[in-house]
Copies of this chain bind each other. A is one copy, B any other.
């Protein structure tokens, strides 16, 4: 394959030429629909493919072509990569990585088996998931659970370098996929339930040297904020914009972790991502807006300096992490085509912003059951809270009932897809409400710093825990919605074949008509799907692939073996019926049309 050969020929060049080549390579590769070169499909996080061999008329004939067990149980998030003739498949802890030869019936070219201390497992809040590896410059980049970032030789699987990006003894772990931009591997950190101070870090892809590091909460220098130039809602943030919103030193254990998806706009030279919940979940304990938790960040990729920020859920009372993906799309908003950033937040609002300056354009509920806020004030950007569903209003040890959405949000990390052909966003959602009781907790490094107990269940009078929806981000409107018995915890894929794919927690890969949502095909994979659907073309055949392997937050009961007396145990109780449909096990299933 020419492209593969180029990639490796290019890697030697990149070594000597530095930043430009690696970037150019990825810029080019991400446009090749035959490959799937980054976990998000492309820098814009579209998860859209120009391939149309599989289309809405023939998708009913789709059949599994081959399958591959990862050798790991528990939750399989993320998706494989395809670079040339090689597929790279990752797994949850212990984070095996496989290179499969697509020319030789998926024979295993190499397997990487990190040695990790299993004591990291109980420090991972929501299963031992990993959302995938990244590729650039002849290397595969892996974020291990134990917060090591590793660069492997893509040809041999041999370790090239390794850096420690966090300390699991303090609850710092890694679950997010890295993103490569130019000469940098951009990584986040997990641990919002352990009081970890969230941050984003850029390492050199050549040798792992740290290039910059930017926190979500803390003093301006740690934030890489320019008080005069970093903007929020059209104004400079000013001095100590974060410190002023925390009591004393609470910011040091203040959360705002960065375990979601990253996107990049090459023209603006900005990367985008969101920060997670402020720690603890008990809002009474941490007065203030707790900036910049729950915030969309736009940072210059070269320097790490923030260009603009937007905090979606000031002073979070519900664990509505803001880490979900930022989808970059140039779409019509109120009659004008805008360089938009579209984000479906855990808090249940679908946001459309101008990604150049952070201007808020649209903010509407993408689940009509959302009740904690009646809407978003478009002037201030702040939610209009509903007192009944404030978990702080009743004080500690008061149980607030029927709050929608639940802590895991109207959508969690499971990424939406965007089709530039339809200008529509296809969004996997949760349809779950909760009772929430905050309680006082003190911080101990490495111990859970949660401070709330939860029950989760479907909205009153309903049975379904999820919907798969089509969304008009210019208008903030649901176009169609498919009800699903469980949350759709799989990433969507949109294609030029007018078919949208997603997986379900029972284990179905589903294909639906992008215009109507009509189900065109389904197949029951070995286990529940929390992986993201991807597609590629090899040997003249378009293939669609997805990891099954139930787990993640929704499947944590099964993944962690909590099967008895689960009512009231948050997601464990809400999803307990899942074990009637599927069992643990990590398997990649690859589909195509019959010959």
Contact = CB atoms under 8 A, between A and B. Distances in A.
Interface of A: 61, 63-64, 66-71, 73, 98, 105-108, 111, 507, 523-527, 548-549, 579-589, 594
B589 A67 contact: yes
5 contacts: A61-B594, A69-B585, A69-B587, A108-B579, A594-B594
A584 to B, nearest CB: 4
Please provide the 9 A-B residue pairs with the shortest distance between their CB atoms, ordered closest to farther.
A69-B585, A71-B583, A69-B526, A71-B584, A69-B527, A66-B524, A67-B526, A63-B63, A526-B587
Contacts of A523: 64, 66
A421 B111 CA distance: 46
A55 B36 CA distance: 38
Contacts of A68: 524, 526, 582-583
Given A63-B594, A64-B64, A67-B507, 9 more contacts: A61-B594, A68-B524, A68-B582, A69-B526, A69-B548, A69-B582, A73-B73, A108-B580, A585-B586
Contacts of A111: 579, 583
A479 B524 CA distance: 39
Given A61-B594, A64-B64, A106-B524, A69 B579 contact: no
A582 B69 CA distance: 7
A529 B585 CA distance: 16
A581 B66 CA distance: 12
Contacts of A61: 594
A579 B527 CA distance: 23
A469 to B, nearest CB: 24
Contacts of A525: 67
A299 to B, nearest CB: 39
Contacts of A66: 523-524
Nearest to A68: B526
B108 A581 contact: yes
Nearest to A591: B64
Nearest to A113: B563
Contact of A583 (B69, B507, B526, B589): B69
A523 B105 CA distance: 10
Contacts of A63: 63-64, 594
Q: Which of A66, A69, A111: most chain B CB closer than 10 A?
A: A69
Nearest to A586: B585
Contacts of A69: 526-527, 548-549, 582-585, 587
Contacts of A71: 73, 527, 583-585
Nearest to A508: B105
A217 to B, nearest CB: 40
A581 B106 CA distance: 8
A527 B523 CA distance: 19
A248 to B, nearest CB: 47
A586 to B, nearest CB: 7
Q: Which of A63, A67, A524, A525: most chain B CB closer than 10 A?
A: A67
Given A526-B526, A594-B63, A70 B107 contact: no
Q: Which of A66, A525, A526, A589: most chain B CB closer than 10 A?
A: A526
Contacts of A106: 524
Contacts of A586: 585
Given A73-B73, A585-B587, A587-B585, A524 B67 contact: yes
Contacts of A67: 64, 67, 507, 524-526, 587, 589
A515 to B, nearest CB: 25
A511 to B, nearest CB: 16
A549 B61 CA distance: 28
Contacts of A580: 107-108
Nearest to A550: B69
A523 B68 CA distance: 11
A326 to B, nearest CB: 33
B581 A70 contact: no
A560 to B, nearest CB: 13
Contacts of A585: 69-71, 585-587
Contacts of A581: 107-108
Nearest to A595: B60
A523 to B, nearest CB: 7
A110 to B, nearest CB: 9
A524 B107 CA distance: 11
A588 B580 CA distance: 16
A54 to B, nearest CB: 15
A61 B594 CA distance: 9
A193 to B, nearest CB: 26
A565 to B, nearest CB: 15
